[in-house]
Structure 1
Amino acid sequence: MANDVVEDHPYLPGGLIPLDQWKTPETSVQKTIRGAFRDILDQLRAGISPEEQAFQSLDDLPMLSGDRLKAFAPEPDAALLAQVMVDQFDQLHRDGASHREVNIVVAPPFSGVPEALRCLSRRVLTPPDNLLMTEQDAGAWWDEQLSGGDWVIPELADFWLRHAAGLNLLRELFARIALDHAGNGMVGCSSWCWQFWRQYSPELSLAPYTLAPLTGEQLTRWLDYLASGDGEQQVTARMTRDGLYVLPAPQQDSDLKYSSFTQDLATLARGNRGVALAIWQRTLRARPEKDDEDTGKEVVRLAGSRCWVAPLDQISLPSVPASAGRQPSHILHALLLHDGLNAERLALVTGMQKQDIALTLDRLIRAELVGRDQASDVYRATPLGYPSVRKNLQARGYPVDGF
């Protein structure tokens, strides 16, 4: 039987795995207790103002910003992630684990897959301005798009609308991929988009892969790899409260005492690297609560740069107010299904009045649950708000993704 899990790489810990093998990271006992307490706090905060629902730091320590923040928590290199994914798909094909001409990567929001796929040296297919097509028009459009050699679709969610006339482009593409009539391509697909289409068309399979979820150990390695510049410099990150280590990644012969922070962060982010990185960036501090010398502890100085990490219970992430009614949830669900929409298309897929959409978006933006891309005028959920958004949608009975 062919091996369907490829060799690990520090930029993609756990590698690419079949979609049905994905599972959430394990939860520490401490995190379980804190999670229950956080849920109680969320309920108590139901009636507070949008500004108070936004991110808050509950300590008075200076946060890292500017160049120092970029040094310790830089944004991932999309081109490197793209190359790693291509190499791993090549390995899967050589091992006989993948046979399709079109490789599909399904991933939760903020995983960096669309940004990575745009870096490939392939034709990037972009959606037409009008997504409301007849079956005949959709077939003709794909005939033209797929005839020019190797291609890539960075985000499949851009090619449809949840509307009676907005489904034909993807219905036609899925049929061609299933019959290997689409040429040689690579597709990135939001997990929320994929969930909708799996529910809409239960026979849809296409053997997609996904990025392995980051466990606490893998998250430590990944954050260390980002900050160290592929080992070019050593970085140290310790907890502000007790001085336990978070970075560098533990070595077998190390006597350093480590915190469970990354395991708890991996659980909070559900293994999602983009969400974990956004929270990580907000926890970094310039100094601890007390210096080692002040506490009388023996000081171990490691070479390289150093920063400090606030405990997760010292930050308050954006939250969806329980008293907000269904309109915010309806809009948030639509944004996730389509990986972002402008106000006009939001009205089309939700059936809501434009005035109501504008007022609700304003509240969601002030609560840091939604952000607006100035260039495209597209609204999207934020990585910091995503954990609360997903939990809210699930609690209200909306179909959620499997991540």
Structure 2
Amino acid sequence: MATTERDNEQPCLPGGLIPLDQWSMPDVSVHKTLRAGFKDILEQLRSGLTPESEAFESLDDLPSLPAKKLKRYAPEPDASALAPAILEQLEALRQQGVHNRQVSFIVAPPFSGVPDALLTLPARVIEPPDNLLMSEQDADRWWDEQLSDDDWVLPELANFWLRHRSGLHLLKSFFARVAMDGAGRGIVACSSWCWQFWVRYWPEIHVGPLTLAPLDSERLTDWLDFLARGGNGRSMTARMTNDGHYVLPPKTDESKEKYSCFTQDLANAARGNRGVAHAIWQRALRAKPEENADQDEDGASKTAECWVVPFDQLSLPGVPQGSGQQAGIVLHAIMLHSSLTIASLERVTGIAGAELKLLLSRFLRADLIVQDENTQAYRPTALGYPSVRKYLQARGFSVDGF
């Protein structure tokens, strides 16, 4: 059997890294849909058009998974596994002549996992200064102290600026150094929202950015299966609660079971964003009470069976009705900077603290944002992200390209 491009992919980084301008939204392949339909018809003809012995019993009322089961069926991606996959991809792109920069610039949408992965690398981490409001001279001096010949990583560039007349100099100085290959050897993760602002504000930026390939239906299915196996080879079966059609394991040419288009819907709803897709996947999973045992009588692990709620039955966070223009300003500011404290929000939005607290309390109750216990900064949630993006786009705010 011939080796395909997918066969050589890292399972924790499906599709690898690609130049930013090659990113595109996952779409539905009409050819694949028609081919799957014809295959089902042929299978029915071969079986003499015999209907199923009995209708599938709806399991729509199954309870959500407890935390322990969720950790097994849909564990959080391992940042320490993603990091070497990123390094391997960067080296491969250099050998192919696609990437020849000393500083590797990875632009990705929120929840990509890249910032956490960079923190696990054996390299010096550059953290933002306490004061982001610097003069040009102070910004240059600060980078002189931070950038040297050793290997460094910058986990999130969005944390290094404020949309304020005095909050732009730090990134201006940085972009100029990277463009001139004067920043040493490093890897930068930059939120797609931060990037969108800066390429519009300063179109002369040329840093050869890369990004993660979007997860289409097939790659998303393979990735969810990889996570469920957890590196120990335990297989997982996931079926729809409404009709019993399969979601996992991934479909093969030999598969005779009927498969759902759930991961196709999921890939499009998440816009190829792995973190958003994973959060919705966790929300969709269910299990029967009697399936809570992971082992048989001999202590051997069994094949896990899980159930998946259809998209139209999922309840996902939405922006509260009646949210005015100020709500959009606050949400947009949080997206641009990845996370902001109330003090920083006052500075970049001009909205008074009391009004901000009222808005933030609504967003917290709606599960659109969370507050970091250590920094007290507010950041978006993966489940609330799709509705926030749609809300901002519908009201004319500049959104990211993902």
In which range does the TM-score fall when normalised by the shorter chain? 0.7 to 0.9
The one-character-per-residue Cα deviations of 1:15-58 (angstroms, maximum 9, x if unpaired) are: 101000111111489xxxxxxxxxxxxxxxxxxxxxxxxxxxx9
The structural deviation recorded for 1:59 is 5.1
Amino acid at match of 1:362: S
Query: Could you say which residue in structure 2 is the equivalent of 1:375?
Result: 374
Following superposition, the deviation at residue 69 of structure 1 comes to 0.7
2:149, 2:185 within 8 Å by CA — same for their partners in 1?
A: no
Take 1:6 and 1:247, find their aligned partners in 2: how far apart are those partners?
Answer: 18
Q: State the alpha-carbon separation in 2 of the partners of residues 352 and 148 from structure 1.
A: 42
1:233 maps to what in 2?
234
SS in 2 for 1:346: helix
- Which deviations, in whole Å up to 9, do the C-alpha atoms of 1:174-199 show, x marking residues without a partner? 00000000000100000000000000
Residues 261-300 of structure 1 correspond to what in structure 2 (within 5 A)? 261-287=262-288
> Could you report, residue by residue, the CA deviation over 1:287-343 in whole angstroms, capped at 9, with x for unpaired residues?
39xxxxxxxxxxxxxx61111000011112111134211111111100010001011
What secondary structure sits across from 1:197 in the alignment?
helix
Contact 1:6 1:16 in 2 (8 A): no
What TM-score, normalized by structure 1, do the two folds share? 0.86
Where does 1:161-176 land on structure 2 (aligned, <5 Å)?
161-176=162-177
- The within-5 A match list for 1:35-184 is 60-147=61-148, 149-184=150-185
Q: Does 1:384 align with 2:402?
A: no
Q: Which has the larger displacement, 71-80 or 323-332?
A: 323-332
Residues 389 and 138 of structure 1: is their aligned pair in 2 closer, same or farther, counting only changes over 3 Å? same
Q: Which residue number corresponds to residue 35 of structure 2?
A: none
Q: Distance in 2 between matches of 1:237 and 1:229?
A: 15
Local SS of the residue matching 1:198: helix
CA distance in 1, matches of 2:377, 2:259: 41
Are the aligned partners of 2:339 and 2:377 in contact in 1 as well (CA < 8 Å)?
Answer: yes
8 Å Cα contact 1:6/1:88 also seen in 2 = no
Q: Quick check: 1:353 aligned with 2:352?
A: yes
Q: Are the equivalent residues in 2 in contact too, given 1:246–1:262 (CA < 8 A)?
A: yes
Q: Which amino acid aligns with 2:116?
A: E
Q: 2:18 and 2:206 mapped to 1: Cα distance?
A: 15
Structure having greater relative contact order (Cα 8 Å, sep ≥ 6): 1
- Quote the Cα distance in structure 2 between the aligned partners of 1:396 and 1:236: 41
Tell me which residue corresponds to 1:313.
Answer: 312
Rounded Cα–Cα distance in structure 2 between residues aligned with 1:135 and 1:322: 43
Q: Which residue in 1 is equivalent to 2:217?
A: 216
Q: Is 1:253 the counterpart of 2:257 in the alignment?
A: no
| Structure 1 unaligned spans of 5+ | 30-57, 289-302
CA distance in 2 between partners of 1:7 and 1:195 (Å): 32
Q: What letter is aligned with 1:325?
A: G
- Between stretches 229-238 and 74-83, larger displacement belongs to 229-238
Question: In the alignment, what sits opposite 1:52?
Answer: none
Count residues with an aligned counterpart: 358
Whether the aligned pair in 2 keeps the contact of 1:28 and 1:263 (CA below 8 Å) is no
Moved over 3 A (4+): none
Deviations 1:163-214 (A, max 9, x none): 0000011000100000000000100000000000000001112110000110
- Provide the secondary structure at the position in 1 that maps to 2:378: strand
- d(CA) in 1 for partners of 2:354, 2:126: 33
Q: Partner residue of 1:44?
A: none
Between the aligned residues of both structures, percent identity stands at 58
Question: Quick one: distance in 1 between partners of 2:159 and 2:7?
Answer: 29
**2:322 aligned with 1:323, yes or no?**
yes
How big is the shift at 1:161? 0.4
Partner letter of residue 64 of structure 2? M
**8 Å CA contact 1:6, 1:92 repeated in 2:** no
Letter aligned with residue 153 of structure 1: L
Q: Separation in 2 of the partners of 1:28 and 1:366?
A: 38
Q: Which has the larger radius of gyration?
A: 2
Which residue number in structure 1 is paired with residue 334 of structure 2?
Answer: 335
Cα-to-partner distance string for 1:344-368 (whole Å, 9 max, x where unaligned): 0000000000000000000000011
